[in-house]
Structure 1
Amino acid sequence: MYGTVATARVVNSLSSKVTQIGIGIVRTSPIGLISGYMFGYLLADLLILIKIRSELHLFNNISLKKMWGLAVRYKRFPIFSMWSQLANMISLQLTPFMLVYFFSSTVVGYYSMANQLLVLPLTLIGDATSQVFFQKASEVNNITGNFKNILTDVHRRLISIGIFPMIIFMIIGEELFSFFLGSNWYTAGIYAKILAPWIFLRFIYAPISSAFNILEKQNVALGFNFVFVISIFGVLYIGGTYGDPIIALTLLSATAVLLWGAADLYILRMSDVQCIEEIKNVMEYLIIALVISLPLIVVKYLSLSVYVIFIVAFAVTFAYYLVVMYKDITLRDQLYGILKTIKNKL
Structure 2
Amino acid sequence: MRMLDRRFVTSTFILGVGMLVAQVISFGISPVLTRLYVPQGFGILAVFMSVVNIIGVIATGRYELAVMLPTDDEEAINIVQLSIFTLTLTTLLIWGVLFMGVKVIPFVRRWQLPNAVIHLIPAGIFSLGVYNTYSYMTLRRKYIKQLSISHVVRSSMTAATQTVGGLCRFVMGLPIGVAIGYFIAALYLRRSINPRIGFEIELHNIKRLAKHYRKFPTYSTASILLNTVARESPSILLAYLWGAQVAGFYYLGQRVIGMPLTLACSTIGRIFLQRAAEERRTTGTATRSLRETLRFVGLLSVIPFPLLMIFAPRFFIVVFGTEWYTAGIFARVLVPLWWIRFIVVPVTTVFEVFQRQEMTTVWNLGLCITTFGCFLLGKYFFQNDVWALGLFAGVQTLLYIGLLVMALRVARCQA
> TM exceeds 0.5?
yes
- 2:410 pairs with 1:270: yes
Alignment-mate amino acid for residue 79 of structure 1: T
Q: Which residue of 2 aligns with 1:112?
A: 251
- Partner Cα distance (1:215, 1:147) in 2: 9
Which among 202, 221, 233 is matched to residue 360 of structure 2?
221
Q: 2:176 & 2:243 partners in 1: Cα distance?
A: 26
Q: What residue in structure 2 maps to residue 342 of structure 1?
A: none
User: Which amino acid letter does the alignment assign opposite residue 248 of structure 1?
Assistant: A
Alignment partners' CA distance in 2, 1:14 and 1:264: 34
The answer on whether the counterparts of 2:250 and 2:327 sit within 8 Å (CA) in structure 1 is: yes
Identity among equivalent positions (%) equals 28
**1:35 aligned to which of 168, 176, 186:** 176
Residues 1:166 and 2:305 are matched in the alignment: yes
Q: Do structure 1's residue 143 and structure 2's residue 282 form an aligned pair?
A: yes
CA shift, 1:56, in A, is: 5.3
CA distance in 1, matches of 2:278, 2:199: 22
Spell out, residue by residue over 1:176-200, the C-alpha distance to the aligned partner (whole angstroms, 9 max, x if none): 1111101111111111110011112
TM-score normalised by L of structure 2: 0.61
Q: 1:136 Cα shift?
A: 1.3
Structure-2 residue corresponding to 1:261 = 401
- Residue 193 of structure 2 is aligned to residue 52 of structure 1: yes
TM-score by length of 1: 0.73
Look up the match of 1:4. Answer: 146
Deviation of the 1:24 alpha carbon = 1.2
The answer on whether the counterparts of 2:351 and 2:410 sit within 8 Å (CA) in structure 1 is no
The residue type equivalent to 2:185 in the other structure is: A
Whether 2:161 is the aligned partner of 1:13: answer no
Partner Cα separation in structure 2 for residue 10 and residue 163 of structure 1: 26
Seen in structure 2, the aligned counterparts of structure 1 residues 124 and 93 have a Cα distance that, compared at 3 Å, is closer
1:82 to 218, 221, 227: 221
Alpha-carbon offset, residue 59 of structure 1: 9.5
- Alignment map for 1:97-108 (pairs within 5 Å): 97-108=236-247
Give 2:352's aligned amino acid: N
Match of 1:25 in 2: 167
Offset from partner CA, 1:205-224 (integer Å, 9 cap, x none):
22211111111111111111
Amino acid at match of 1:132: I
Q: Take 1:256 and 1:13, find their aligned partners in 2: how far apart are those partners? A: 29
Q: CA deviation at 1:273?
A: 9.6
Q: 2:331 aligned with 1:189, yes or no? A: no
Which residue number corresponds to residue 208 of structure 1? 347
Contact 1:99 1:240 (C-alpha < 8 Å) held by counterparts: no
Unaligned residue ranges in structure 1 (runs of 5+):
275-346
Distance 2:396 2:326 in 1: 21
Answer whether contact 1:103 1:243 (CA < 8 A) is retained: no
Q: Is the 8 A contact 1:115 1:195 kept in 2?
A: no
Which residue number corresponds to residue 251 of structure 1?
A: 391
Contact 1:102 1:243 in 2 (8 A): no
Whether contact under 8 Å (1:163, 1:200) holds in the other structure is no
Report what 2:11 is aligned to. Answer: none
Contact kept? 1:14, 1:40, Cα under 8 Å: yes
Counterpart contact for 2:350–2:410, Cα < 8 Å: no
| Bigger Rg over Cα | 1
Partners of 1:159 and 1:111 lie apart in 2 by 26
Query: Shift of the alpha carbon at 1:154?
Result: 0.5
Contact kept? 1:209, 1:267, Cα under 8 Å: yes
1:254, distance to aligned residue in structure 2 (A): 0.3
1:222-262 deviation line (CA, Å, top 9, x unaligned):
11111111001111111111211111111011011011121
Gaps of 5+ in 2: 1-142
| RMSD between aligned residues | 2.3
| Amino acid aligned to 1:245 | D
SS at match of 2:299: helix
Q: Matches of 2:198 and 2:219 in 1, distance apart?
A: 29
| Cα displacement string for residues 94-130 of structure 1 (whole angstroms, at most 9, x for unaligned residues) | 1122222332322211111112211233233222211
User: 119-128 vs 162-171, which deviates more?
Assistant: 119-128
Match of 1:333 in 2: none
| Alignment correspondent of 1:126 | 265
Write the mapping of 1:286-297 to structure 2, written as runs, cut at 5 A.
none
- Secondary structure of the 1:146 match is coil
The match for 2:132 is: none
